[in-house]
Amino acid sequence: MPITKILERNAELYGNEVALVEINPQELENRHLTWREYSLIEPSPNDSFRSEITWSEFDRKANQLANFLLTRGIRRGTKVAILLMNSLEWLPIYFGILKAGVMAVPLNFRYTPEEIRYCLDLADVEVLLFGPEFTGRVEAICGRIPRVKTLLYVGEDCPSFAEPYSSLVSYCSRRAPAINIADEDEAAIYFSSGTTGFPKAIVHAHRSLMHSCEVEQHHHHQTRLDTFLCIPPLYHTGAKMHWFGSLISGSRAVLLRGVKPEWIIRAVSQEHCTIVWLLVPWAQDILDAIDRREITLEDYRLDQWRLMHIGAQPVPPSLIKRWKQVFPDHEYDTNYGLSESIGPGAVHLGIENIDHVGAIGVAGYGWETRIVDEHRNPVPRGEVGELAVKGAGVMLRYYKDEKATCEVLADGWLFTGDMAKESEDGFIYLVDRKKDVIITGGENLYPVQIEDFIRRNSAVKDVAVIGLPDDRLGEIAAAIVEVKPDHELTEGALNEFCQELPRYQRPRKIIFAPVPRNPTGKIEKPKLRKMYGGDRLVARQNELEEPGR
């Protein structure tokens, strides 16, 4: 059964109940108001601080978009891209695309214009829906995306090169279109990337999405009494697939646009949230704010908050130990997955296994795991090998990339590229990443992209970008820069040069030193990590690996 049927069931059974709430605290800060002061003011129709939709409205919006797409001659297999910030429109648009029997293509809101163009071209996208935050980026490429036949603007004051989404779909039927969707039909394309920095287009079937719903509810036991606080971006498989637990249980979710500790705690309190998914830096920031007395827990209603879980990057056991000291009654889970396995849950710790914090856990519900050698034969417990996973959430293929598909898929197994080992009691511990992707604050950085940019500087002879441990972000990007003889380059000048990069891609640390390469010309990044990570890197790795921590 496709997940679109779950939405229709929720609309029928719980139509007048709230499905989604959007909160934008920045709006209040711009108006110099506190949340308490806002609650005493008569709400305005144009007030964008807090808004909500019911399950009935959610389903109706999805149906109208689906019918609009069909009026434009959209056919099965067509790709429709979404470039939006988190909002009440995001999920209805996603489901409207699915209901039309076509493929949803979520795009990272941090993409540069050229990255947007590259992904649209790679996925053969014909329709792009975008929000006001992306007008400039889309305008910069709209003359160079010939496959994109329709640009739909989601917001007010539609630019001249696009069409207004709201007014167009408002005239369309509110009833679900008569489109038959099978579990094996292709549903969505998500983007990932390896160390080359070039995104791969990951194709998932409807069965993957449905499997994700079942996995999430099985792991975290959502009921209709739960409220999920969703903070990460919905283009990411992690955020959306965790929200699928709310979908399958017919429960409410809150989309919080912002990550300040006080915003998170206040949202949990005022919206009566019971489940919160955090990234490591956000959990760290909350604890630090409590320690500094910027947040006084007694001022908030938090007794209903039952579960905090973390994913997207390795989790320091010391952080969870500290969290449990502050929130002793919280259940805790960590989830491992990748976009090729429809996001979180292929491996999970399990709320009953908090004594094994440090492990990524055991095979998730409906999943199998193996740790294999270079010939893909299972290794004995305790030995390091590559982690492989198998289940209904494995991707179908990389779109238009048969070679890359064959490299990671075999007999239903997905070979993750992550090196791991299994303890004697069956828990899996990550040891290292086979690839050099840097995970900072839950986001992937691709060193080659940053290296290629820095090499444009005429004073740079060579450069290597590596990840160094960071208490808050997990890792930060460090650039080891070798300057050409008879040239001068300061840290300030290089930082200024890197302003052209997106903020999240800029190196947080710059080291001027020779860049070692092996006889074949490859940068010796393990040597650099050992040189500049030092004892702290070793201690952090030991903390992440040690069983039972």
Cα angle: 174, vertex 245, 303; to 5 degrees: 115
Q: Give the sign of the dihedral formed by CA 324, CA 326, CA 330, CA 334.
A: negative
Cβ(349)–Cβ(356) under 8 Å? Answer: yes
In this predicted structure, what is the pLDDT of residue 462? 86
* 3-258 and 438-545 share one fold: no
Which DSSP helix (H) or strand (E) runs through 164? strand 163-164
- Give yes or no for residue 147 having a pLDDT over 80: yes
Query: 230 is written with which tokens?
Result: 């969703």
The terminus-to-terminus CA distance of the chain in angstroms comes to 40
Q: Was domain 309-433 assigned CATH 2.30.38.10? A: yes
Query: 479 is written with which tokens?
Result: 């650039």
pLDDT in tens, 419-465: 889 999 999 998 766 667 788 887 777 777 788 789 889 898 888 99
Annotation: CATH topology of 438-545: GMP Synthetase; Chain A, domain 3 (3.30.300)
Global pTM exceeds 0.75: yes
Residue 521 backbone class (left: φ over 0; alpha: ψ -120 to 50; beta: rest): left
One-letter amino acid of 145: I
CATH number of 3-258: 3.40.50.12780
One-letter amino acid of 492: G
Query: 284 is written with which tokens?
Result: 């760290």
pLDDT in tens, 354-400: 999 989 999 999 999 999 998 999 999 999 889 999 999 999 999 99
Partners of 276 in the beta sheet? Answer: 229, 308
pLDDT in tens, 233-278: 999 888 899 999 999 999 999 999 999 999 999 999 999 999 999 9
Cβ(102)–Cβ(77) under 8 Å? Answer: yes
Partners of 127 in the beta sheet? Answer: 80, 150
Give me the residue spans of the domains in the chain: 3-258, 309-433, 438-545
- Report the C-alpha gap between 549 and 539 in whole angstroms: 13
- Report the C-alpha gap between 496 and 499 in whole angstroms: 5
Q: In 72-193, where does DSSP find H-type helix?
A: 90-99, 113-122, 135-141, 165-169
